[in-house]
Amino acid sequence: MKVYFDNAATTAIDVQVLDLQYELQRKYYGNASSIHQLGRETKVIIENARTTVARLLNVSPSEIFFTSGGTESINTLVAGVVNQLKPLSIITSKIEHPAMLQSLTTQAHQSGCVLQFLEINAKGIINLDHLESLLQSWNGAQVLISLMHVNNELGNLLPLKKVSELAQKYHALFMCDTVQSIGKYPLDLGAISVDFAVGSAHKFHGPKGIGLMYINRKNAIAPLLLGGTQERNMRAGTENFANIAALAKALELAYSDMENHLNHVQQLKKHLIDRITAELPNITFNGNTEGFPYILNLGIPKTEHNEMILMNLDIQGIYLSGGSACSSGTLKPSHVMEALGLAERCRPLRVSFSKYNTLEEVDYLVDVLKKY
């Protein structure tokens, strides 16, 4: 049996998305910046995709910019916000994705703005009272809050509405790394006060190497990539029109059946928790299990026998990660596990589901885990 439980790292492309991508690549090749008909054809494909994405996220098409993925979106936004909007402080957490943490650290260091980390509890839940007291202490000066919607290792879900209300109350900018939630979890950017958000198609059954950034129209920032005037001067470089259309198609498919997929993975997660609680009581759950249904982080008690557990699971056809994607397949403790003080205590196993997983696969995982 082959079981793919590493969907937080990346997902399999949906065949409908792949078919569209292939068909578009076959039919069209014009450069969207060319003013002749072939260029205009690809330009229309891009703008239609932007309209679709904007409709699904409930924002204006002028607030959506296509990029090469989550990492580029985050780097662009952080550099733009720090350099143009000049916050005196950035409030974040130690369990953000490395793309965010490294961008924030580098930009804060270069600009001299203060980087402040919020208190988190043993489950990785952010202390919102601490957030409010830090916001208060800046007394109206420009502050940037950068917190992720779904933690990619733990599956913790940020109380997005509460954070956005605090941002509004203290006139702070709010950047949300929504890479894990866009396309999997309802996200109405028009209804909440978020200034910047990001998405990556390969997390929701789209192609790799294509993503988006949302920039609320109140904010104007400069691009990271310089050159042509593509993406209304926000991202130079010839657009990958087929990937852009594929991203929009993948998002459309995700939104058309989101509730069913959420219910399905919730059922898988509950079944895994129930079986582990009953049959493998030594295994703990890292993070807040009440969070995002697509991710469950298991803490395997350390023994000499299970040092190579990831590799052994791999041999038995079960593919998952120990920490985040970058540490996938290695035993190096992730910065998230270190921040929670869990690195020494257990071997983390992140099980991340998709719409394609089944209860039989969950049963197979539990049966194999019993050997360790």
Ligand X SMILES: Cc1ncc(COP(=O)(O)O)c(C=O)c1O
Helix (H) or strand (E) run with residue 147 in it: strand 143-148
Give the contact letters, 303-332, x = binds to ligand X (CB under 6 A), - = no: ----------------------x-------
> Tokens representing 152?
């990619």
Annotation marks residue 113 as catalytic: no
Q: Smallest distance, Å, CB 9 to ligand X?
A: 6
Binding region for ligand X (CB under 6 A) out of 49-57, 69-77, 116-124, 290-298: 69-77
Q: Running DSSP on this structure, what letter comes out for residue 327?
A: G
Is the CB of 75 or the CB of 89 nearer to ligand X? 75
Helical residues (DSSP H) of 123-240, grouped into ranges: 128-137, 160-169, 230-233
334 sits near ligand X (criterion: CB under 6 A): no
Q: What DSSP line would sit under 167-196, residue for residue?
A: HHHTT-EEEEE-TTTTTTS---TTTS--SE
Is the CB of 211 or the CB of 291 nearer to ligand X? 211
Is the CB of 292 or the CB of 372 nearer to ligand X? 292
User: Cβ distance 155 to 169 under 8 Å?
Assistant: no
152 sits near ligand X (criterion: CB under 6 A): yes
Is the CB of 177 or the CB of 231 nearer to ligand X? 177
Q: Running DSSP on this structure, what letter comes out for residue 12?
A: P
Q: Give exposure, 71-87, as e/b (b: 16+ Cβ within 10 Å).
A: bbbbbbbbbbbbeeeeb
250 sits near ligand X (criterion: CB under 6 A): no
Distance CA 327, CA 138 (A): 37
155 sits near ligand X (criterion: CB under 6 A): no
Nearest Cα to 244, choosing from 83, 67, 74?
A: 67
Binding region for ligand X (CB under 6 A) out of 17-25, 112-120, 175-183, 232-240: 175-183
Give the contact letters, 271-310, x = binds to ligand X (CB under 6 A), - = no: ----------------------------------------
Q: Which residue is nearest to ligand X (CB)?
A: 70
148 sits near ligand X (criterion: CB under 6 A): yes
> Tokens representing 350?
């992140």
Distance CA 145, CA 116 (A): 10
99 sits near ligand X (criterion: CB under 6 A): yes
Is the CB of 69 or the CB of 223 nearer to ligand X? 69
Is the CB of 10 or the CB of 267 nearer to ligand X? 10
Interface positions, 199-218, toward ligand X (CB under 6 A): 200, 211
Distance CA 171, CA 166 (A): 8
Residue type, 39: G
Distance CA 74, CA 261 (A): 27
Tell me whether residue 110 is exposed, middle or buried, using C-beta atoms within 10 angstroms of its C-beta: 0 to 12, 13 to 18, 19 or more: exposed
Q: Which of 75, 164, 180, 286 binds ligand X (CB under 6 A)?
A: 180
- How many positions of this chain bind ligand X (CB under 6 A)? 13
Beta strands in 180-262 (DSSP E): 196-200, 211-215
Binding region for ligand X (CB under 6 A) out of 63-71, 134-142, 311-319, 343-351: 63-71
Q: Smallest distance, Å, CB 218 to ligand X?
A: 23
- Residues that are catalytic: 326
Q: Which residues bind ligand X (CB under 6 A)?
A: 69-71, 97, 99, 148, 152, 177, 179-180, 200, 211, 325
